[in-house]
Structure 1
Amino acid sequence: MFFNRFRRQNVKKEYDQRLLELINSLKEEWDHASQTQEAVADSDMEMEQETALARQKYFFIYREARIRKIKNDQIQPSVISYDHDNFE
């Protein structure tokens, strides 16, 4: 009985970690699509749809993580500001 409970906890941790990795990957994909859309002067409907789809994928998985009460222990690169002039 103890081993079954221990195994279940390990499986949950493994899938929670996979979910966090997927969230980070989808966030990067959404950021990339958004930056591409902003950089292109003639963004067409297809580009806007790709950005919207990337956003929806991210929020769908993010909601699942919230339901499972998963916490991320790493800072996403999109959150970090590389503007060092503000720190002087």
Structure 2
Amino acid sequence: MKRLLLLAPLCTLAACVEAEPPAPLPQSDGCQAAALHGLVGQPRAVLDRMKLPAAARVIGPRDAVTTDFRPDRMNFEIGENGLIAKIACY
């Protein structure tokens, strides 16, 4: 009987185990952003010296941005520190 009482809390704890989170959805790279991920962490001025695709956007920390989704549009997000924080297609 004592053994059963010792196992009861363990069984209760086993029921509390969190499920694994779902795997993230694959990101499309319709604008070829992966090729430029080496720029993340570089100053924003680096983009001024580059020829960017026609539809590319450079988005500052407090810039207003449209919510239309275009997988072929390259977006450069600039952090508060003036460095390139993210490059993605959206």
**Structure 2 length-normalised TM:** 0.30
More strand by share: 2
More helix by share: 1
**Structure 1 length-normalised TM:** 0.31
